[in-house]
Amino acid sequence: MDGFLEGEVAEYNQTGTKVVSTFYEKGKKEGLATVYTNEGRINILAEFHHDNQNGMAYEYHPNGSLKKQVRFVEDLKDGEEQCFNRKGQMIAQAHYQVGKLDGVCCEWNNQGVLIFEGEYRQGRKHGKFNKYDQDGQPLLLQKFVDDELVEKKKLNNSQEIKKGLLI
C-alpha cells in the first residue's frame, strides 16, 4: 500500500449509518463515490478515474427519484445535463462542452410548459435568450451575440411587445 489509501473509505453519521463511500486506488479516487442521506438512501453517485470526476454523476430527490444527471470528463461537465422534478418529469436541460455551456438550455414548469430557453456558445450567451410565463406566453425575448445583448423585446401589461434594438 505504501501509505496510500486503497479500497473503500467510508464515513458514518452518529447513528452508525454510512453517509459517504469513496473508493481509492494508490491514493487516488477510482471508481464509484456515493453520498447517502442520514437515513441511508443514495443522494449522489459519481464516477472517478485517476482522482478526477469522469463519467456520469447522478443526484436523487429524498423520495429516491432522479433529480439530476450529467457526464463529467476530467472534472468538467461535458454533454447533456438533465434535471427532473420529484415526479420524474424533466424540468431543465443544458448542454456542456469542456465545462462551459454550449448549445440550447431550456427550463419547463411542473406542467411541462417551456418557461425559459437560452443559447450559449463556449460559455457565452449567443442567440436567443427568452423567458415565458407559466402558460408559455412570452415575457421577454432577447438576442445575444458573444455575450452582448443586441435585441430586446419585452411584453408589457397590455400584451403588446415593446421592441428595442441595441447598438
Q: Does 118 fall in a domain?
A: yes
Instruction: Give ∠ CA 160-162-167 in degrees, rounded to 5.
Output: 165
Q: 106 and 158: one domain? A: yes
What lies within 8 Å, CB to CB, of 129 at 6+ separation is 117, 118, 119, 142, 143, 144
Q: 59 and 115: one domain? A: no
Please give the pLDDT value at position 162.
53
Q: 162 and 126: one domain? A: yes
Indicate the burial class of 2 (C-beta count within 10 angstroms; 0-12, 13-18, 19 or more). exposed
Q: Which of 52, 84, 116 is the last residue of a domain?
A: 84
Please give the pLDDT value at position 120.
98
Q: What is the DSSP string of 87-128?
A: TS-EEEEEEEETTEE-EEEEEE-TTS-EEEEEEEETTEEEEE
For the four alpha carbons of 20, 25, 28 and 32, in that order, the dihedral sign comes to negative
Q: 77 and 134: one domain? A: no
Q: Does 89 fall in a domain?
A: no
* Number of folded domains that form the chain: 2
Cα–Cα distance, 97 to 103 (Å, whole number): 9
* Residue range of the domain that includes 120: 102-167
Cα–Cα distance, 143 to 101 (Å, whole number): 16
Q: 79 and 142: one domain? A: no
* pTM for this predicted structure: 0.86
Report the candidate in 87, 84, 129, 134 with the shortest Cα–Cα distance to residue 105.
129
Q: Does 96 fall in a domain?
A: no
Q: What is the pLDDT of residues 109-130, one digit of tens each?
A: 999 999 999 999 999 999 999 9
The residue that leads in pLDDT, 68 or 167, is 68
Q: Does 97 fall in a domain?
A: no
Q: Which of 38, 53, 84 is the last residue of a domain?
A: 84
Give the mean pLDDT of 7-29: 96
